[in-house]
A and B are shown apart, each in its own frame.
Chain A
Amino acid sequence: MIHNDVTNLYSSAAMTEETLKKLKILTESAKYDVSCSSSGTVRSNTRGGLGNTVGGIGICHSFADDGRCISLLKTMLTNSCMYDCAYCINRRSNDIPRATFSVRELVELTIEFYRRNYIEGLFLSSGVVRNPDYTMERLVAVVKDLRTIHRFNGYIHLKSIPGASRELVNEAGKYADRMSVNIEIPNECSLKLLAPEKDFKSVYEPMAYIQQQTLASKEERKLFRHAPRFVPAGQSTQMIVGATPDHDRDILRLSSALYARPTMRRVYYSGYIHVNTYDTRLPMLKQPPLVRENRLYQADWLLRFYQFKVDEIVDDANPDLDLEIDPKLAWALRHPEVFPVDINKAPYELILRVPGIGVKSATLIVNSRRFNRINSSHLKKMGVVMKKAKYFITCGELMSPTVNELRPENVRRLLTPSTSKRRDDHQLQLPLFHD
């Protein structure tokens, strides 16, 4: 009985109605960070420990009403912040409720949510209080507690606080699976205007340092199998789309340069949501630029999985992505000379370029055609979107006119959804900066 009382005391001491309020406040402050992936590390449980990570595509445990996946407990240590970035809901001059979790509360929330299979792990960020080192120290305390005292083997994504000391980043990297530093604004001038206390150096320096440490740890593990891992799932970052007049070209060039770095796994794009309506440095958007965000993700996929170069997707003649059609179709219509592609002969790389054929169906085609000739009914069953693909391929009996016979502009008209249904996404083109 005494034992029982003690546990009651413990649970009521750590978790109360107050925690509920804090969780609400801090989650609402953290939700504009897009990243939620729990992929990149494969780690089995240890003896007497809790949790594992599955690698691969990760596990999404739920989907919120906005359709975004909930994989990690995404929250903040505190939403008080000494900075005053124009695009951020937690900026110093905003009058919003502020709260701070204790280390113990956060640890217990994570463990108990995890045990109920609500989450894959923790995504922790924080506003900057007092100074970067002070904040980073507390973040590290949470993840260290989880890993060493509670032997938690689930996923941990930690935001690195810009300006924190190298020792602290080193310490954090030992416990975290992924660390991220957000670029937010793809252009340094705009960044300085919107976030006067920040510059590109404060973003790239920690990024480069984390990369250096990760690579060093990989080398070491080649020599000593049990050498500690450092941020095994690599880094990610995020850019806000539509808060500044930057073109998609600038955004994608930056992403492409980032992906060339060996530890950069994901660049996220976050359609700007007008959280600070009073700030005149920012554009007035009726709704977040969701279509543009979607097109950027499509372009990002082309960069990562479809062997596209960034200059093929956007260039100086076409600095912005087409909002009506996807970037792969747009490329195909600009380059009708490449088509039609013969499904039974063309190399994998070329089949991958056909609109309506994805990585999965391209692999199926290349595998299957060794056995028999592929015709259009096979393609349909393999999951090819024939509505699009038929203008760009030849395969035996398929009697569809190709893009060259029809002219690209007519194919474009055939494949564009009727205008009445489309959302008005053109507020973006308004002049935003007057000086």
Chain B
Amino acid sequence: MLTVVFDAYARRSFPQAIQGTDEPLPLFYDEVHPVITDEAKAGRVWKALEKKLSKDALSCLTVSYLSELPELDLHLFRYICKNIDSPVSLENNLADDDILFVTNTFRKVLYERLRMMQFIRFQKAADGTYFGIMEPQYNVLPLAIAHFKDRFADQPFVLYDKRRHYGYYYDQHEVTQVTFDESLPHFVTGKLDESLMADDEKLFQELWRTYFKAVCIRDRLNPRKQRKDMPVRYWKYLTEKNK
């Protein structure tokens, strides 16, 4: 993306659309300029941005990129250009469509990161590894991993993003990126088979379900609020919502 900005300024022509190489071209177009990521060019653009934007705005750029939304690219491009052209930082000008869009996307990605911290459920396998799987909307695993590494420093765990087919394995020392064969039954259902579970895993799952049921006050049932705060798309991998 940063190379795109560099090339646009070098060529003095600004794009109408930005696409991945695998996407089909639009029906009408004048010119296609292929961009190959170049560390040096990208570095220069980033340096220019560092001079102008606050730390928060810089992380807003990198984090919103993890949303992987196709429509983000052009907004992000214009966000960067507008700030380069302007004498002062425009990061707070939310009346601007591009800046509003990128900032809102940034918020959504951070919110999804929180959702991952909330709704990941670990199951303890027989070898002592804790196994957690999820399908987050955005690519938030890289943002969330530091939290889990700090919190569960003394337990080996696997965190897997099934939608993007990769995960992290933590061996009590460091984190490594991993991919698995997803035809294994616990990747399909998200549940460890009983033969793979640690001895007490089933009991604790049962205890948690019991707790979940017991803590609800029946006079105040409010399924709408439950769905609002814990959307149904996360239920598939929640221990308390599955038998």
Chain A interface residues (CB < 8 Å from chain B)? 7-8, 11, 15, 19-20, 23-24, 27-28, 30-32, 44-45, 47-52, 54, 59-70, 73-75, 109, 112-113, 115-118, 271, 273, 287-288, 290, 364, 367-372, 374, 378, 381-382
Selected contact of B95 from candidates A73, A75, A368, CB within 8 Å: A368
A60-B118, A372-B95, A374-B95 known; A290 and B211 CB under 8 Å?
Answer: no
Chain A residues lying within 8 Å of B123, measured Cβ to Cβ, are: 116
Contact in complex: A371, B96 (CB < 8 Å): yes
Contact string, B203-243, partner A, CB cutoff 8 A, digits 1/0? 11011101111111111111111101110000000111000
B78 to chain A, nearest CB (A): 15
Please tell me if the beta carbons of A74 and B93 are within 8 angstroms of each other in the complex: no
In the bound complex, what is the Cα–Cα distance between A400 and B238 (angstroms)?
48
A20 to B154, CA, bound (A): 27
Query: Apart from A27-B210, A61-B118, A115-B152, what are 16 other A-B pairs with CB-CB below 8 Å?
Result: A11-B203, A23-B211, A50-B153, A50-B155, A51-B151, A51-B152, A59-B117, A59-B118, A66-B218, A66-B220, A67-B222, A73-B211, A115-B155, A116-B204, A290-B220, A369-B95
B113: min CB distance to chain A, Å: 11
A-B contact pairs, 7 of them (CB 8 A): A44-B150, A64-B216, A65-B221, A65-B223, A67-B228, A68-B217, A118-B208
Question: A367 contacts which of B94, B208, B214 (Cβ < 8 Å)?
Answer: B94
Tell which of B122, B222, B238 touches A62, judged by Cβ atoms closer than 8 Å: B238
- Give CA–CA (A60, B100) in the complex, Å: 28
- Enumerate chain A residues within 8 angstroms of B121, measured Cβ to Cβ: 116-118
Q: Is B114 an interface residue (CB 8 A)?
A: yes
Min distance, Cβ B209 to any Cβ of chain A, angstroms? 10
Indicate which residue in A32, A54, A367 contacts B92 across the interface (CB closer than 8 Å).
A367
Tell whether, in the assembled complex, residue B93 and residue A381 are in contact, meaning their CB atoms are under 8 Å apart.
Answer: no
Chain B residues near A368 (CB-CB < 8 A): 92-95
Known: A113-B208, A116-B204. A371 touches B95 (CB 8 A): yes
Quick one: given A115-B155, A367-B94, are A382 and B216 in contact (CB under 8 Å)?
no
A375 CA / B97 CA spacing, docked (Å): 13
Nearest Cβ on chain B to A10's Cβ, whole angstroms: 10
B167 interface residue, CB < 8 Å from A? no
Q: Which residue of A lies closest to B88 (CB)?
A: A371
Q: List, in ascending order, chain B residues with CB within 8 A of A74's CB.
A: 215
CA distance A166 to B37 in the complex (A): 65
Interchain nearest-CB distance for B65 vs A (Å): 22
Contacts of A113 in B (CB 8 A): 204, 207-208, 211
B residues less than 8 Å from A109 (CB atoms): 207
CB-based contact B219/A45 at 8 Å: no
- Give chain B residues whose Cβ lies under 8 Å from the Cβ of A19: 207
B147 at the interface (CB under 8 A from A): yes
Question: A147 CA to B122 CA in the complex, in Å?
Answer: 22
**Given A59-B114, A112-B200, A115-B122, A52:B219 Cβ within 8 A:** no
Q: Is the CB of A115 within 8 A of B130?
A: yes
CA distance A109 to B214 in the complex (A): 15
Chain B contacts for A50, CB-based, 8 A? 151-155
Which chain B residues (185-199) contact chain A, with CB distance < 8 Å? 199
A84 to chain B, nearest CB (A): 22
- By beta carbon, the residue of chain B nearest A74 is B215
- The 5 A-B residue pairs with the shortest CB-CB distance in the complex, in nearest-first order: A67-B225, A67-B222, A27-B214, A367-B92, A371-B93
Say yes or no: B153 contacts A49, CB within 8 Å. yes
Residues of A within 8 A of B238 (CB): 62
Question: In the bound complex, do residue B92 and residue A370 qualify as a contact, i.e. CB atoms below 8 Å apart?
Answer: yes
What is the minimal beta-carbon distance from A289 to any residue of chain B, in angstroms?
11
CB-nearest residue of chain B to A377: B95
Please tell me if the beta carbons of A116 and B214 are within 8 angstroms of each other in the complex: no
Q: How far is the CB of A100 from chain B (nearest CB, A)?
A: 16
Scoring A48, A49, A52, A73 by chain B CB atoms within 10 A of each residue's CB, the highest score goes to A52
Evaluate contact between A27 and B224: CB separation under 8 angstroms.
no
What is the bound-complex CA distance between A64 and B211, given in angstroms?
10
